Amino acid sequence: MYAIIATGGKQYRVAEGEWVRVEKLVGDVGQKIVFDSVLMLGGEGAAKIGKPSLGGASVEAEITAQARGRKLIIYTYKAKKNERRKHGHRQPYTELRITKITG
């Protein structure tokens, strides 16, 4: 069985036992999180699709890591003006392990 959840302005397809990286969520490592915004359930038989979300469906996950992604280099310049800037950015993320899908 799999589910499509919405968090951090994005949608993720998850199944039990999978690890997924999502936009940073508030919480400590080992803490449980419940996602109520389940958009779709599928797998066994016909898929259930919400309008926009399914009532009574939820996905439980455990936080396994709070970290930052690899560094991205942003380089900007203006032609013929001798203006150059180099910036780095590391996006924070939360790594989750999906423990249970109900619905």
* Overall number of domains in the chain: 1
Q: Which token pair is 96? A: 């989750």
Tell me: the pLDDT tens digits for 21-68?
Answer: 999 999 999 999 999 999 999 988 888 998 988 988 999 999 999 999
Tell me, what's the pLDDT at 44?
A: 80
The mean of the pLDDT values for the chain is 94
Tell me, what's the pLDDT at 23?
A: 96
Tell me, what's the pLDDT at 30?
A: 95
Tell me, what's the pLDDT at 95?
A: 97
CA distances from 48 to 31, 40, 59, 80, 101 (A): 29, 6, 14, 57, 13
Domain encompassing residue 82 = 2-102
